[in-house]
Structure 1
Amino acid sequence: MTEWNDDDLDRIGGAEELQVASQRPDGTLRPYVTIWGVRVGDGIYVRSAYGAGNPWFRRAKAAGTGRVRAGGVERDITFAEAAPGVHGEIDNAYHAKYDRYGPAIVGSVVGAKAAPVTVRLVPR
């Protein structure tokens, strides 16, 4: 499994928004979706604000691969599971980065309901 370099982690993790696209079976990319994402340690994580039924999330999970654009970085990725023990740190990172938008908005991507819809973006 490939890892992010420090510059990519800083740039993607520092970007206000990320754009992700899942890959179709024929190898083409679906349209990009703009979402929030955070860096925790050496990982980049995104969560589905509207649960497991959100179309981008369902497509990403089904495809397993795609692409991310953020902070001037564009990379092919794998949509991977997040380790169970990292969810508290991900919550903290979302709060630190996005709390200024208010609890109703940030509340959609933190807490116990957000853990099952968390994806780690792994570079390919």
Structure 2
Amino acid sequence: MSKWSKEELGKIKAADDLHISPFREDGITNGTPTWIWSVVVEDDLYVRAYNGQSSSWYNAALQQKAGRITIAGLTKEVAFEPANDSINETIDNAYRKKYHNSPYLSPMISERSRSATIKLMPRG
């Protein structure tokens, strides 16, 4: 797996327009883009499913382990892996900082959403 560049992380950190498209079951075709929140923590990119583990994009991401994201003018092929639970508090704090004025913050740092946290890594 490759790493995010500092330039990419800077753009991603400042944007809130991430669209995620896990592959469909064929492993080739990208699914319908879903707009979600993202945060950068320790040079890594994380996302959470608002509806927790019942979210269709989340389940597709876990099953296919790859897809595409579009954010801040970037389109990247990515790999998905479940986040390590030990970093959830740090991710919560990043959500609090980035989205502090949003009425959707509480659900995004709830146990439901925390249980559906994914780390995104650039592919190739």
User: Could you say whether these structures have the same fold, taking a TM-score greater than 0.5 normalized by the shorter chain as the test?
Assistant: yes
Is residue 46 from structure 1 mapped to residue 50 from structure 2 by the alignment?
no
Deviations 1:68-113 (A, max 9, x none): 11011111000112123211110001011112013xx111111433
- CA displacement 1:38-76 (0-9 Å, x = unmatched): 111111100011110111111111111001110111110
Q: Which residue of 2 aligns with 1:79?
A: 80
3-state DSSP class of the match of 2:45? Answer: strand
In structure 1, runs of 5+ residues without a counterpart are none
Aligned to 2:118: 119
Label 1:26 to 1:114 Cα distance change in 2 as closer, same or farther (>3 A).
closer
Q: How many residues align?
A: 122
The separation in 2 between residues aligned to 1:88 and 1:111, in whole angstroms, is 11
Q: Which 5+ residue runs of structure 2 have no aligned equivalent?
A: none
CA contact (8 A) 2:53 2:112 kept: no
TM-score by length of 1: 0.92
Seq. identity, %? 29
- State the match for 2:61 in structure 1: 60
CA positional deviation for 1:32: 0.5
Task: Report the alpha carbon displacement of residue 26 of structure 1 after superposing the two structures with TM.
Answer: 4.6
Report the TM-score, using the length of structure 2 for normalisation: 0.92
Rounded Cα–Cα distance in structure 2 between residues aligned with 1:111 and 1:52? 12
